[in-house]
A and B are shown apart, each in its own frame.
Chain A
């Protein structure tokens, strides 16, 4: 059963009572919330995710609860609680969805140290993964979302989850958070994309979450092997520029873009080395999504024939 198989009202009731357990490969997440608007938003953007029935175990237990007090039901603030702890300050109720997403990112980055976690978007086609590591603002989420609107499978817009030295990348596909001007850019590029609500005035500006295409979820937990790494650098108005970089250069960039390189130590050192040896690495400066797609298609053809 998927989230969308339940009527929205029933989903919201279940979330408020016992919580719902979602399979978000490669982990299982239990969510409980008395914020009905959040439940309805999750029902929308997580529509095609599997609901885990009678889950005895969840990797992460998240509760988003209205601030307690005499006027609890009038409260305009909510708390993010993970496994009984409250790591963040209360936040405005209307920011519940982005806070859920940021909170889950934070928990994932803190805990999932069985994998090398790169700050990168990742997409896959024909079993080969394209990693897009970037600093915030580098355009990786928008680029990954646009690729997923074509014939690429979205693995993640935030994490490249590298499982081993063979370069196996696991999915952690969640609704990409598209920000500010990029929302309209992506809407114009791919009108068929479905978004959740547009949420203004968050700490990252205006945000809309893209519903992950069903096709990206059909392979479930299946991973892909890294076939190419491109470091995107979005600059408004920039002409497309692609430059091959050396392995040592790419290695140092990956280390910088890792959430847990320091935690994994020598293991991460070997995994990063294996990654840059296994595939071509480029810097991709772009200002237009269509140009970026064309450049990546060209690189992908070259990688396949190399």
Chain B
């Protein structure tokens, strides 16, 4: 889905995300549909940030991610995070915060 302005994000209504952290990755359980996904650190942190602070847009999420992962914007560009958010939305893990 394309959004004209930068949307704010939330965990999708009715969704419950469970995480297990391992040294070689994070495993996510999507309780809404019962599927399991293997995530890297940036993907897992993105969902964690959205879960902790509802209503952030991509830029704010990006800023928090860089801080938590101690990365530069060159290493993790905003466009990568925006693409990740789109993908999570398609998977019904997150949704756009309604006005």
- Chain A residues in the interface with B (C-beta under 8 A): 246-249, 251-252, 255, 261-262, 265-266, 269, 273, 276-277
**Are the CB atoms of B22 and A266 closer together than 8 Å?**
no
B44 to chain A minimum Cβ distance, whole angstroms, is 11
Which residue of A is nearest B36, CB measured?
A255
Give the secondary structure class of B's interface. strand
Binds A, one of B4-12, B27-35, B49-57, B60-68: B27-35
For the complex, is B70 an interface residue (Cβ under 8 Å from A)?
A: no
Inter-chain CA distance A265–B33, complex, in Å, is 9
> In the complex, what residues of B have CB within 8 A of residue A252's CB?
27, 36, 38
Using known A-B contacts A269-B18, A269-B20, A273-B20, determine if residue A248 contacts B29 with beta carbons closer than 8 Å.
no
**Are the CB atoms of B36 and A248 closer together than 8 Å?**
no
Contact of B23 among A247, A255, A269 (CB under 8 A): A247
> In the complex, what residues of A have CB within 8 A of residue B74's CB?
none
> In the complex, what residues of A have CB within 8 A of residue B24's CB?
246-249
For the complex, is B96 an interface residue (Cβ under 8 Å from A)?
A: no
- Chain B residues in the interface with A (C-beta under 8 A): 18, 20, 22-27, 29, 31, 34, 36, 38
B14 to chain A minimum Cβ distance, whole angstroms, is 14
Using known A-B contacts A252-B36, A252-B38, determine if residue A266 contacts B18 with beta carbons closer than 8 Å.
yes
> In the complex, what residues of B have CB within 8 A of residue A251's CB?
20, 22, 27, 36, 38
Which residue of A is nearest B24, CB measured?
A246
> In the complex, what residues of B have CB within 8 A of residue A261's CB?
36
> In the complex, what residues of A have CB within 8 A of residue B26's CB?
248
A268 to chain B minimum Cβ distance, whole angstroms, is 9
**Are the CB atoms of B18 and A248 closer together than 8 Å?**
no
The 8 closest A-B pairs by CB, nearest first: A246-B24, A248-B25, A247-B22, A248-B22, A269-B29, A273-B20, A248-B24, A262-B34
Which residue of B is nearest A262, CB measured?
B34
Give the secondary structure class of A's interface. helix
**Are the CB atoms of B36 and A269 closer together than 8 Å?**
yes
B29 to chain A minimum Cβ distance, whole angstroms, is 4
Q: List 12 A-B contacts (CB under 8 A).
A: A247-B22, A247-B23, A247-B24, A248-B20, A248-B25, A248-B26, A248-B38, A251-B38, A265-B34, A269-B18, A269-B29, A269-B36
> In the complex, what residues of A have CB within 8 A of residue B34's CB?
262, 265
**Are the CB atoms of A248 and B27 closer together than 8 Å?**
yes
Inter-chain CA distance A26–B26, complex, in Å, is 34
Inter-chain CA distance A247–B23, complex, in Å, is 7
A194 to chain B minimum Cβ distance, whole angstroms, is 41
Inter-chain CA distance A277–B24, complex, in Å, is 12
> In the complex, what residues of B have CB within 8 A of residue A266's CB?
18, 29, 31
> In the complex, what residues of A have CB within 8 A of residue B25's CB?
246, 248-249
Which residue of B is nearest A273, CB measured?
B20
Which residue among B26, B29, B31, B38 has the maximum number of chain A CB atoms within 10 Å of its CB? B29
> In the complex, what residues of B have CB within 8 A of residue A276's CB?
22
* 6 extra interface residue pairs, beta carbon distance < 8 Å, beyond A247-B22, A265-B34: A248-B22, A248-B25, A248-B38, A251-B36, A255-B36, A273-B20
